[in-house]
Amino acid sequence: MVKKLLLGLLALFALLIAVVAVNTLRKGSRQLDVPSLSVLAVDEAGAAQRLGEAVRLQTISSRDDAKLNADQFRQFHALLEKRFPKVHATLKREIVADLSLLYTWEGSNPAAPAIALLAHQDVVPIAPGTESDWQETPFSGDIKAGYVWGRGSWDDKGNLMSQLEAAEALLASGYKPERTLYLAYGADEEVGGTRGAAKIAALLKERKVRLDFVIDEGLLVLDGILPGLTKPAAMIGVAEKGYLSVVLKMSATPGHSSMPPKKAPAQLP
Protein backbone atom coordinates (compact mmCIF):
# COMPACT_ATOMS: atom_id res chain seq x y z
CA MET A 1 0.00 0.00 0.00
CA VAL A 2 2.76 2.44 1.01
CA LYS A 3 4.75 1.39 -2.02
CA LYS A 4 1.78 2.11 -4.30
CA LEU A 5 1.30 5.51 -2.74
CA LEU A 6 4.97 6.36 -3.20
CA LEU A 7 4.89 5.22 -6.81
CA GLY A 8 1.78 7.30 -7.37
CA LEU A 9 3.46 10.39 -5.88
CA LEU A 10 6.54 9.77 -7.98
CA ALA A 11 4.39 9.53 -11.10
CA LEU A 12 2.64 12.81 -10.20
CA PHE A 13 6.00 14.48 -9.63
CA ALA A 14 7.29 13.24 -12.98
CA LEU A 15 4.13 14.57 -14.64
CA LEU A 16 4.65 17.96 -12.99
CA ILE A 17 8.22 18.12 -14.28
CA ALA A 18 7.03 17.18 -17.77
CA VAL A 19 4.29 19.85 -17.75
CA VAL A 20 6.72 22.53 -16.53
CA ALA A 21 9.32 21.50 -19.11
CA VAL A 22 6.82 21.55 -21.99
CA ASN A 23 5.41 24.92 -20.89
CA THR A 24 8.89 26.37 -20.54
CA LEU A 25 9.78 25.36 -24.07
CA ARG A 26 6.43 26.44 -25.49
CA LYS A 27 6.17 29.88 -23.87
CA GLY A 28 9.66 31.17 -24.63
CA SER A 29 11.11 34.34 -23.14
CA ARG A 30 8.81 37.06 -21.92
CA GLN A 31 11.59 39.65 -21.93
CA LEU A 32 10.22 42.78 -23.59
CA ASP A 33 12.26 44.14 -26.43
CA VAL A 34 12.65 47.77 -25.35
CA PRO A 35 14.55 50.02 -27.73
CA SER A 36 17.22 51.99 -25.88
CA LEU A 37 16.90 55.76 -25.73
CA SER A 38 19.50 58.00 -27.26
CA VAL A 39 21.92 59.05 -24.55
CA LEU A 40 22.39 62.73 -23.77
CA ALA A 41 25.94 63.97 -23.44
CA VAL A 42 26.80 64.59 -19.78
CA ASP A 43 29.09 67.46 -18.82
CA GLU A 44 30.87 65.39 -16.16
CA ALA A 45 33.41 68.01 -15.11
CA GLY A 46 30.73 70.71 -14.89
CA ALA A 47 28.39 68.45 -12.92
CA ALA A 48 31.18 67.62 -10.44
CA GLN A 49 32.00 71.33 -10.02
CA ARG A 50 28.36 72.15 -9.35
CA LEU A 51 28.02 69.30 -6.85
CA GLY A 52 31.14 70.61 -5.09
CA GLU A 53 29.54 74.04 -4.80
CA ALA A 54 26.41 72.46 -3.34
CA VAL A 55 28.42 70.46 -0.80
CA ARG A 56 30.21 73.60 0.41
CA LEU A 57 26.94 75.02 1.74
CA GLN A 58 26.47 73.70 5.25
CA THR A 59 22.80 72.82 5.15
CA ILE A 60 22.68 71.01 8.50
CA SER A 61 19.12 70.62 9.73
CA SER A 62 17.91 70.63 13.30
CA ARG A 63 14.93 68.93 14.88
CA ASP A 64 14.28 71.74 17.33
CA ASP A 65 15.37 74.84 15.49
CA ALA A 66 13.61 75.21 12.13
CA LYS A 67 15.66 78.34 11.42
CA LEU A 68 19.07 76.73 11.93
CA ASN A 69 21.32 77.44 8.93
CA ALA A 70 18.42 79.10 7.07
CA ASP A 71 21.00 81.35 5.36
CA GLN A 72 22.84 78.27 4.05
CA PHE A 73 19.61 76.79 2.67
CA ARG A 74 18.73 80.11 1.00
CA GLN A 75 22.19 80.29 -0.55
CA PHE A 76 21.63 76.75 -1.77
CA HIS A 77 18.34 77.80 -3.43
CA ALA A 78 20.15 80.74 -5.06
CA LEU A 79 22.89 78.41 -6.30
CA LEU A 80 20.31 76.11 -7.90
CA GLU A 81 18.68 79.10 -9.63
CA LYS A 82 22.01 80.24 -10.98
CA ARG A 83 23.28 76.85 -12.12
CA PHE A 84 20.04 75.50 -13.59
CA PRO A 85 18.60 78.47 -15.50
CA LYS A 86 16.47 76.42 -17.90
CA VAL A 87 14.89 74.48 -15.05
CA HIS A 88 14.01 77.72 -13.30
CA ALA A 89 12.66 79.30 -16.49
CA THR A 90 10.42 76.34 -17.35
CA LEU A 91 9.41 74.54 -14.15
CA LYS A 92 7.27 76.13 -11.49
CA ARG A 93 9.22 76.39 -8.24
CA GLU A 94 7.48 76.79 -4.90
CA ILE A 95 9.08 77.28 -1.54
CA VAL A 96 7.15 75.17 0.95
CA ALA A 97 7.31 75.80 4.70
CA ASP A 98 10.13 78.33 4.38
CA LEU A 99 13.01 76.11 3.19
CA SER A 100 11.69 73.09 1.28
CA LEU A 101 11.32 73.12 -2.50
CA LEU A 102 8.69 71.77 -4.86
CA TYR A 103 9.21 71.96 -8.62
CA THR A 104 6.43 71.16 -11.09
CA TRP A 105 7.28 70.23 -14.68
CA GLU A 106 3.93 70.30 -16.43
CA GLY A 107 3.34 67.38 -18.78
CA SER A 108 1.74 67.65 -22.22
CA ASN A 109 -0.90 65.00 -21.50
CA PRO A 110 -3.17 65.87 -18.57
CA ALA A 111 -4.58 62.33 -18.58
CA ALA A 112 -1.15 60.78 -17.93
CA PRO A 113 -0.56 60.15 -14.21
CA ALA A 114 2.12 62.29 -12.61
CA ILE A 115 5.29 61.04 -10.95
CA ALA A 116 7.66 62.50 -8.36
CA LEU A 117 11.38 62.37 -7.80
CA LEU A 118 12.53 63.14 -4.27
CA ALA A 119 15.79 64.19 -2.66
CA HIS A 120 16.75 66.16 0.41
CA GLN A 121 18.75 69.35 0.80
CA ASP A 122 19.88 68.87 4.37
CA VAL A 123 22.79 66.93 5.80
CA VAL A 124 23.63 65.55 9.22
CA PRO A 125 26.04 67.44 11.50
CA ILE A 126 29.71 66.64 11.96
CA ALA A 127 30.17 65.05 15.39
CA PRO A 128 32.20 67.56 17.43
CA GLY A 129 35.79 66.47 17.82
CA THR A 130 35.80 64.22 14.72
CA GLU A 131 36.79 66.93 12.23
CA SER A 132 40.37 65.68 12.10
CA ASP A 133 39.21 62.13 11.29
CA TRP A 134 38.06 63.31 7.88
CA GLN A 135 40.34 62.63 4.94
CA GLU A 136 39.22 65.96 3.49
CA THR A 137 37.52 68.71 5.48
CA PRO A 138 33.83 67.82 5.92
CA PHE A 139 32.46 70.54 3.62
CA SER A 140 35.38 70.88 1.21
CA GLY A 141 33.48 70.02 -1.98
CA ASP A 142 36.89 69.43 -3.59
CA ILE A 143 37.31 67.13 -6.55
CA LYS A 144 40.14 64.66 -6.04
CA ALA A 145 40.93 61.28 -7.56
CA GLY A 146 37.64 61.20 -9.41
CA TYR A 147 35.46 61.96 -6.38
CA VAL A 148 33.64 64.98 -5.01
CA TRP A 149 34.54 65.10 -1.31
CA GLY A 150 32.43 66.25 1.58
CA ARG A 151 29.28 65.72 3.59
CA GLY A 152 26.29 65.44 1.29
CA SER A 153 28.16 64.37 -1.86
CA TRP A 154 26.26 61.11 -1.57
CA ASP A 155 23.55 61.77 0.93
CA ASP A 156 21.81 63.42 -0.69
CA LYS A 157 23.01 66.35 -2.75
CA GLY A 158 24.46 63.95 -5.32
CA ASN A 159 20.94 62.73 -5.96
CA LEU A 160 19.35 66.20 -5.91
CA MET A 161 21.93 67.72 -8.24
CA SER A 162 21.76 64.73 -10.63
CA GLN A 163 18.02 65.21 -11.03
CA LEU A 164 18.44 68.89 -11.84
CA GLU A 165 21.41 68.18 -14.14
CA ALA A 166 19.20 65.71 -16.03
CA ALA A 167 16.28 68.15 -16.21
CA GLU A 168 18.55 70.97 -17.41
CA ALA A 169 20.09 68.72 -20.10
CA LEU A 170 16.68 67.45 -21.20
CA LEU A 171 15.34 71.00 -21.48
CA ALA A 172 18.37 71.99 -23.55
CA SER A 173 17.61 69.09 -25.90
CA GLY A 174 14.04 70.32 -26.35
CA TYR A 175 12.45 67.49 -24.37
CA LYS A 176 8.87 67.90 -23.18
CA PRO A 177 7.51 65.34 -20.74
CA GLU A 178 4.17 63.72 -21.44
CA ARG A 179 3.29 63.31 -17.79
CA THR A 180 3.75 65.92 -15.11
CA LEU A 181 6.89 65.51 -13.05
CA TYR A 182 7.32 66.79 -9.51
CA LEU A 183 10.71 67.32 -7.93
CA ALA A 184 10.38 67.56 -4.16
CA TYR A 185 13.33 68.55 -1.99
CA GLY A 186 12.75 68.66 1.74
CA ALA A 187 15.04 70.63 4.05
CA ASP A 188 14.62 68.49 7.17
CA GLU A 189 14.74 64.85 6.04
CA GLU A 190 17.53 63.96 8.44
CA VAL A 191 15.45 65.09 11.40
CA GLY A 192 12.12 63.52 10.48
CA GLY A 193 10.76 65.43 7.48
CA THR A 194 7.70 66.77 9.26
CA ARG A 195 8.39 70.35 8.15
CA GLY A 196 9.33 69.49 4.55
CA ALA A 197 8.20 66.18 3.04
CA ALA A 198 5.02 66.03 5.12
CA LYS A 199 4.02 69.59 4.12
CA ILE A 200 4.75 68.91 0.45
CA ALA A 201 2.70 65.70 0.58
CA ALA A 202 -0.18 67.59 2.22
CA LEU A 203 0.01 70.28 -0.45
CA LEU A 204 -0.12 67.71 -3.27
CA LYS A 205 -3.01 65.95 -1.57
CA GLU A 206 -4.88 69.23 -1.24
CA ARG A 207 -4.40 69.74 -4.99
CA LYS A 208 -5.73 66.22 -5.56
CA VAL A 209 -2.50 65.09 -7.18
CA ARG A 210 -2.28 61.31 -7.44
CA LEU A 211 1.18 60.04 -8.23
CA ASP A 212 1.78 56.98 -10.36
CA PHE A 213 5.08 56.36 -8.56
CA VAL A 214 7.73 58.06 -6.47
CA ILE A 215 11.47 57.58 -6.67
CA ASP A 216 13.35 58.63 -3.54
CA GLU A 217 16.93 58.75 -2.39
CA GLY A 218 17.59 55.05 -2.85
CA LEU A 219 20.77 53.17 -2.26
CA LEU A 220 24.31 53.10 -3.52
CA VAL A 221 26.27 51.44 -6.30
CA LEU A 222 28.70 49.25 -4.40
CA ASP A 223 31.80 47.24 -5.20
CA GLY A 224 32.45 43.78 -3.81
CA ILE A 225 29.27 43.33 -1.80
CA LEU A 226 28.40 39.91 -3.22
CA PRO A 227 30.91 37.07 -3.38
CA GLY A 228 31.62 36.19 -7.00
CA LEU A 229 30.24 39.43 -8.40
CA THR A 230 33.06 41.31 -10.08
CA LYS A 231 31.01 44.24 -11.35
CA PRO A 232 29.53 47.02 -9.19
CA ALA A 233 26.08 46.23 -7.82
CA ALA A 234 23.34 48.88 -7.87
CA MET A 235 21.21 48.42 -4.79
CA ILE A 236 17.51 48.87 -5.40
CA GLY A 237 15.37 49.60 -2.36
CA VAL A 238 11.71 48.82 -2.88
CA ALA A 239 10.42 49.66 0.57
CA GLU A 240 10.98 52.18 3.31
CA LYS A 241 11.60 51.17 6.89
CA GLY A 242 9.75 53.01 9.56
CA TYR A 243 11.43 53.86 12.81
CA LEU A 244 10.66 53.68 16.47
CA SER A 245 12.17 55.75 19.23
CA VAL A 246 11.88 54.18 22.66
CA VAL A 247 13.06 55.08 26.14
CA LEU A 248 14.11 51.95 28.05
CA LYS A 249 14.39 52.07 31.80
CA MET A 250 15.59 49.24 33.99
CA SER A 251 17.28 48.81 37.33
CA ALA A 252 20.17 46.43 37.88
CA THR A 253 23.67 46.48 39.27
CA PRO A 254 25.70 48.80 37.05
CA GLY A 255 28.51 47.27 35.03
CA HIS A 256 30.07 47.18 31.60
CA SER A 257 28.81 45.24 28.58
CA SER A 258 32.32 43.84 28.06
CA MET A 259 31.97 42.03 31.40
CA PRO A 260 28.37 40.82 31.56
CA PRO A 261 27.12 39.10 34.71
CA LYS A 262 26.61 35.34 34.54
CA LYS A 263 22.90 35.88 34.60
CA ALA A 264 21.11 38.91 33.19
CA PRO A 265 18.30 40.44 35.25
CA ALA A 266 15.31 38.13 34.99
CA GLN A 267 12.83 40.67 33.75
CA LEU A 268 12.41 44.27 32.83
CA PRO A 269 10.46 46.31 35.33
The residues that are catalytic are: 122, 189
Is the Cβ of residue 72 or residue 180 nearer to Zn ion in the bound state? 72
**Is the backbone peptide bond immediately before 156 cis, with ω within 30 degrees of 0?**
yes
Is the Cβ of residue 177 or residue 218 nearer to Zn ion in the bound state? 218
CA nearest neighbour of 99 among 141, 136, 139, 65: 65
Q: In the complex, what is the shortest distance from the CB of residue 159 to Zn ion, in angstroms, rounded to a whole number?
A: 8
Number of residues that bind Zn ion (CB under 5 A): 3
Is the Cβ of residue 102 or residue 119 nearer to Zn ion in the bound state? 119
Is the Cβ of residue 127 or residue 259 nearer to Zn ion in the bound state? 127
Stretch that binds Zn ion, among 73-81, 143-151, 154-162, 228-236 (CB under 5 A): 154-162
Residue 156 contacts Zn ion per CB under 5 A: yes
| 148 class by beta-carbon count within 10 Å (0-12 exposed, 13-18 middle, 19+ buried) | buried
Q: At what angle do helices 157-172 and 44-56 cross, to 10 degrees?
A: 140
Contacting residue, 155, 179, 198, 203, with Zn ion by CB under 5 A: 155
d(CA 159, CA 185): 10
CB atoms inside a 10 Å sphere around CB 63 = 12
**What φ, ψ does residue 259 adopt, rounded to 5°?**
-130, 70
Cβ neighbours of residue 262 closer than 8 Å, sequence gap 6 or more: none
Q: In the complex, what is the shortest distance from the CB of residue 251 to Zn ion, in angstroms, rounded to a whole number?
A: 38
Q: In the complex, what is the shortest distance from the CB of residue 120 to Zn ion, in angstroms, rounded to a whole number?
A: 6
Q: Is 193 helix (H, G, I), strand (E, B) or coil?
A: coil
Residue 83 DSSP class: H
Q: In the complex, what is the shortest distance from the CB of residue 134 to Zn ion, in angstroms, rounded to a whole number?
A: 19
Is the Cβ of residue 156 or residue 165 nearer to Zn ion in the bound state? 156
Stretch that binds Zn ion, among 16-24, 67-75, 155-163, 205-213 (CB under 5 A): 155-163
Q: In the complex, what is the shortest distance from the CB of residue 46 to Zn ion, in angstroms, rounded to a whole number?
A: 24
Q: Which of positions 202-241 make contact with Zn ion (CB under 5 A)?
A: 217
Q: Which residues bind Zn ion (CB under 5 A)?
A: 155-156, 217
